[in-house]
Amino acid sequence: MRVAAVDCGTNSVRLLVADVGDERLREVERRMEIVRLGQGVDETGRLAPDALERTFKAMRAYRELIDRHGATATRVVATSATRDAANRQEFVDGVREIFGVEPEVISGAEEAELSFTGATKGLLCLSPETEVPQGPLPPYLVVDIGGGSTEFVVGSEHAEAALSVDIGCVRLTERHLRGAGDPPSAPALEAVVADIEAALDRVEAEVPVRRAHTLVGLAGSVTTVAGIALDLPAYDPERIHHSRLSAEQVHQVTRRLLAMTHGERANVPVMHPGRVDVIGVGALILDRIVRRFAFSQVVVSEHDILDGIAWSLDAA
């Protein structure tokens, strides 16, 4: 069955066209555009008109690809920015017009479940002959660091506990680092850390994170940190997928990013232009998670909620 999955987050809108069936997913097309849909949402509570238009423009291009590849089922999922927006009906109406299906503004718990499925389905299928000998050990803590929120999911074959908290790289950058200097000042970064730690207090109280043997990191902040740690000359998803970063590598890359100017970050070979101003906070969120829960390494996954959406269409 050929399906199309669309994930519209706070920072980016992404497309996966894939053939799914018999417990296999074969990627046909994967695209990502940074549209910054969540621009200003934390401050205004509304989706900005120009942010909506950037998002709809990317979606129109995706609709053309879906039609070209002949996908027979499409699911459009929207996450943190649209959950928070007072005018989210404008988004819903625009998406329905483009794709002909109702977008699902899912809860944080649903987002976490889809992320867990997308991230761990491949891990569960690994054999000793693969690039990850003997496979990472469950239970897993899957962490999806987005633009507006971060999802935490613990489970083995299925998600067993999940929580979404409002610490995302766009949200915290807009909240604390506007006008905070280049590179940002120590007091501004301390304010970011305070918000992260307060959210992690809640995570630790509500999710059994310390049961997990393996930390699996998802989304652009994590994969960008991995690309930097691996010293890649360009972004290479195949090299990044299922790579393992030590805690020390995470600490080093985070310190390096936070000490850089905007221009220096823009010149990092693996850096997507749309992540330049938020990657420092994204890395800092990952760093604080590793420190707080004493993980020795992170398994990095290029497969995430988008793959989970595709798998859900196979099960429908």
Tell me the per-residue pLDDT of 46-79, one tens digit each, with 9 for 90 and over: 999 999 999 999 999 999 999 999 999 999 998 7
Q: At what angle do helices 219-229 and 247-259 cross, to 10 degrees?
A: 100
Q: What is the mean pLDDT of the chain?
A: 90
Distance from C-alpha of 39 to C-alpha of 50, rounded to nearest angstrom: 9
Q: At what angle do helices 279-293 and 169-176 cross, to 10 degrees?
A: 110
Residue 150 near residue 283, CB atoms below 8 Å: no
pLDDT of residue 113: 83
Distance from C-alpha of 57 to C-alpha of 45, rounded to nearest angstrom: 22
Distance from C-alpha of 10 to C-alpha of 44, rounded to nearest angstrom: 14
pLDDT of residue 257: 97
Candidate ranges 40-44, 111-115, 266-270, 272-276; pick with highest mean pLDDT: 266-270
Token output for 248: 């020390």
- Band (pLDDT 50/70/90 cuts) for residue 157 is confident
Distance from C-alpha of 85 to C-alpha of 79, rounded to nearest angstrom: 11
Does residue 301 have a pLDDT over 60?
yes
pLDDT of residue 80: 64
Does residue 127 have a pLDDT over 70?
no
pLDDT of residue 126: 44
Residue 241 near residue 303, CB atoms below 8 Å: yes
Q: What is the mean pLDDT of residues 98-127?
A: 79
pLDDT of residue 124: 56
Does residue 133 have a pLDDT over 80?
no
The model's pTM is 0.81
DSSP assignment of 112-135 equals HHHHHHHHHHHHHT--TTSSSTT-
Token output for 133: 């000998």
pLDDT of residue 180: 86
pLDDT of residue 229: 97
Q: What is the mean pLDDT of residues 76-100?
A: 87
Q: What is the mean pLDDT of residues 278-302?
A: 96
- Band (pLDDT 50/70/90 cuts) for residue 159 is confident
| pLDDT, tens digit, 9 for 90 and up, residues 172-210 | 999 999 888 899 999 999 999 999 999 999 999 999 999
Count CB-CB contacts under 10 A for residue 23.
10
- Whole-Å CA distances, 16 to 30, 151, 243, 307: 5, 20, 21, 7
